[in-house]
Amino acid sequence: MSELIVHASTSNIELMVQEEKARQDFSKRLARACEKAGLQSHGRQAEIAKKLKLTPKAVSKWFNGEAIPRRGKLQDLAALIGTSAAYLLGDATEDGVSKGHMKMVPDVYRVEVLDLNVSAGPGSYLISDYVEVLYAIEFTNEHARSLFGNRSHHEVKVLTVNGDSMAPTFASGDRLFVDISVRHFQTDGVYSFVYGKTFHVKRLQMLGNKLAVLSDNPAYEKWFITEDTQDQLYVMGKALIHESIKYYKL
């Protein structure tokens, strides 16, 4: 029994030593990545805390070798600095940081508006595989985070709604902000997609082994995408929010 106790105690000590080393190595890699990205020692903890909506004390633990952030915050931290979670954890040798990255990152979040109308109706025909950018809408990073979470601005695009099949949820002419990193049906929600040769913006819902295509306007009947026809479906993105465009006569 005493031998088992000694063995268990030794294993626990070895585990504690390994965890301590992992935390210390993490803090060193974090500091190197910050320095390369242009974050100087003075004030960097406060800046990171502000951008990640944390307390400076929580961030200081990362730099002091007292803690390693959990997966979600680790990804956010890596993205902010311009490196990877794999590098910070020691699973990759290349940091991937562009020198002065943080100095070059403006407090602006640019969302591109595409020259594309998605149909909230019977469907708009696809006439070209190339879609131009009309202009961009700019938000502060803080405002963008409240709207789009931690999504990159590269993942968010704006499309224009055409038709009334999704009324009263949104109307023809409204701007639809879409997460284009979603390229297949995930959960029930509003999607922009191509089916066959036509554009649509509809609510998709899985019913049994069929995908129901639903309109919020009761004047439009639902239809289905089955296993036999699912190869005609191409998801362009999942709707996040919409902006209503209304004009009033004076």
pLDDT tens, position by position, 13-56: 888 888 999 999 999 999 999 999 888 788 888 888 888 888 88
- Report the C-alpha gap between 74 and 240 in whole angstroms: 24
Q: Does pTM top 0.75 for this prediction?
A: no
- Report the C-alpha gap between 114 and 132 in whole angstroms: 6
Q: What is the pLDDT of residue 183?
A: 92
**Taking the chain, what is the end-to-end CA distance rounded to the nearest angstrom?**
90
Mean pLDDT, residues 85-101 taken together: 87
Q: What is the pLDDT of residue 220?
A: 94
**CA 216 to chain centroid:** 26
Q: What is the pLDDT of residue 128?
A: 56
Q: Is residue 241 classed as helix, strand or coil in its secondary structure?
A: strand
CA distances in angstroms from 1 to 8, 11, 71, 245, listed in the order given? 11, 15, 39, 76
Q: What is the pLDDT of residue 50?
A: 83
Adjacent-strand bridge partners of 189: 204
Mean pLDDT, residues 87-98 taken together: 89
Mean pLDDT, residues 61-85 taken together: 91
Q: Is residue 119 classed as helix, strand or coil in its secondary structure?
A: strand
Q: What is the pLDDT of residue 165?
A: 93
Helix 56-63 and helix 44-52: axis angle, to 10°? 120
CA atoms lying within 13 Å on the CB side of residue 210 = 9
Q: 118-177 pLDDT, tens per residue?
A: 888 777 766 555 567 788 898 988 899 899 998 888 899 999 999 999 999 988 999 999
Adjacent-strand bridge partners of 119: 162
- Report the C-alpha gap between 230 and 211 in whole angstroms: 9
Q: Checking DSSP bridges between strand 189-195 and strand 133-139, what pairing results, if any? A: unpaired
Q: What is the pLDDT of residue 40?
A: 79
Q: What is the pLDDT of residue 126?
A: 60
- Report the C-alpha gap between 80 and 87 in whole angstroms: 14
Q: 183-211 pLDDT, tens per residue?
A: 999 999 999 999 998 889 999 999 999 99
Which range, of 28-42, 60-74, 89-103, 127-141, averages the lowest pLDDT? Answer: 127-141
Give the residue with greater pLDDT, 220 vs 125: 220
Confidence of residue 97 (pLDDT cuts 50, 70, 90): confident
Give the residue with greater pLDDT, 228 vs 130: 228
107, pLDDT greater than 80: no
Q: What is the pLDDT of residue 43?
A: 81
- Report the C-alpha gap between 107 and 11 in whole angstroms: 48
Confidence of residue 248 (pLDDT cuts 50, 70, 90): low
Contact 203, 190 (CB under 8 A): yes
Q: What is the pLDDT of residue 80?
A: 87
Residue 163: φ, ψ to 5°: 120, 175
Q: What is the pLDDT of residue 71?
A: 85
- Report the C-alpha gap between 113 and 110 in whole angstroms: 10
